[in-house]
Amino acid sequence: MTLVVLGLCVAYAAVALLLGLVVLSTRIPVLVRVVSTLSVIGLAFFSYWGISEIRGLPSDTYPPNLFRFHWARIVEPNKMTDEPGSIFLWIEELDEDNYPSGLPRAYRLPFTPELAEAVEAALAAIAEGEEVAGEIEEDAAELDTSDRLALEITSDDQGNTGSPIGERVVAVDFGDISFSPLPAPETPEKSN
């Protein structure tokens, strides 16, 4: 993975160098020079965002509605440093027949006492040898963009985001996650 990141950095350095040569040595209109320079700068930031998605950082996107729960780490809020706390889940999406669909992925969720309690109970079940599934209630999963934006604005106004630059946290209440024993996959019926 480090080679991928280094390769992308070298590629963008080469593109920036070529753009610099073109901008300085040709008689292209000023508007084209400005737009191309801003495009390369914008693509560099977009690439940084994309690299954070592929290099193993926890995803800040909405987790799947049905998943197999592998493990978690709970980081409680720290009032001395004003950090809000997080819950990191290592989960694997399940399809409608309870088969894994995709690779396991880490997700970062905001800390709530209810979610922490549910996660601790699920961790205890895993420690006893059980396989655990998780499900997010439909009404919590279907918050539209305006509701999410309102929650983000509210948390920004309160100044409690605690996220350093470059980190994003999903600002949705995940108190509606429930954990249960992993159901057996449903196999299709045989036809003779």
**HEC readout, 86-155:** EEEEEEEEECCCCCECCCCEEEEEECCHHHHHHHHHHHHHHHCCCCEEEEECHHHHCCCHHHHHHHHHHH
Mean pLDDT of 122-146: 78
**In the numeric block, which tokens belong to residue 62?**
């909405």
Mean pLDDT of 25-53: 81
The band of 24, judged by pLDDT with boundaries at 50, 70 and 90, is confident
Mean per-residue pLDDT of the chain: 79
- Per residue in 64-111, pLDDT (tens digit) is 899 999 999 999 999 999 899 999 999 999 998 889 988 898 999 999
Q: Are 174 and 114 in contact (CB under 8 A)?
A: no
